[in-house]
C-alpha cells in the first residue's frame, strides 16, 4: 500500500524523536510549490538544534530512499504562535493562556484555557454586559464543536 509523503515523513520524524518524550509532531504538509513543511513542538518548546537534527535525519532518509521524485525544500520548525493549535497535547501545553475558539456554528469564544480533556476543553470566559460588572463564566466545549483554537498574544 502506498503511503502519502506526509505519512512517510511523519513516521520518520516519530522514529527520530522516539526517545524524546517531550517532543511531538504537530503537522506535516507537502505544499504544491515543493515546500515540505514539518511542524514539531515540545512540551517545553523545541530548540533550533532539535529542528536541525530532525531535518538532517528526515532529509537523509528521504534522499536514501529517493522518496520524493521532484525538487522539494524541507522545512522543519515549531509552529508559529499565530498558527491554530492542532493537537490535544498543544492544548495542554497552553493551559492558562487566553485563547480564541472558532466554533463549527460560526461563532467565536475567547477565554482563559483552564482544562483540557481528551474530548473537550474548558475555558473561563469573561462576560461583560452593558451597565453590569464583568462576570467570569466557565464553559466546557466538546472538541467536535471546535473548528480552530488560537492562542491570543497580549502585549500589555
Report pLDDT digits (tens) over 140-155. 999 999 999 999 987 7
For 53-65, what is each residue's pLDDT tens digit? 999 999 999 999 9
- Is the Cα dihedral 131, 137, 142, 143 positive or negative? positive
Domains of the chain: 5-77 (3.30.300.20), 88-151 (2.30.30.100)
For 35-87, what is each residue's pLDDT tens digit? 999 999 998 889 999 999 999 999 999 999 988 888 999 999 998 878 899 88
Ranges assigned E (strand) in 78-153: 98-103, 108-116, 120-127, 135-142, 146-151
pLDDT of residue 129: 83
Model's pTM, two decimal places?
Answer: 0.77
Alpha helices in the chain (DSSP H): 5-16, 48-65, 88-93
Mean pLDDT value of segment 8-31: 95
Amino acid at each position: 500500500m502506498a503511503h502519502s509523503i506526509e505519512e512517510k515523513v511523519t513516521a520518520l520524524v516519530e522514529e527520530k524523536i522516539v526517545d524524546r518524550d517531550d517532543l511531538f509532531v504537530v503537522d506535516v504538509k507537502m505544499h504544491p510549490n515543493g515546500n515540505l513543511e514539518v511542524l514539531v513542538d515540545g512540551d517545553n518548546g523545541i530548540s533550533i538544534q532539535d529542528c536541525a537534527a530532525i531535518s538532517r535525519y528526515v532529509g537523509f532518509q528521504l534522499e536514501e530512499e529517493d522518496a520524493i521524485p521532484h525538487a522539494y525544500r524541507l522545512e522543519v520548525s515549531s509552529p508559529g504562535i499565530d498558527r491554530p493549535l492542532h493537537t490535544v497535547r498543544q492544548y495542554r501545553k497552553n493551559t492558562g493562556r487566553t485563547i480564541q475558539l472558532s466554533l463549527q456554528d460560526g461563532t467565536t469564544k475567547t477565554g482563559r484555557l483552564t482544562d483540557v480533556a481528551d474530548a473537550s476543553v474548558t475555558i473561563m470566559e469573561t462576560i461583560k454586559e452593558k451597565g453590569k460588572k464583568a462576570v467570569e463564566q466557565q464553559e466546557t466545549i466538546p472538541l467536535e464543536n471546535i473548528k480552530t483554537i488560537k492562542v491570543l498574544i497580549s502585549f500589555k
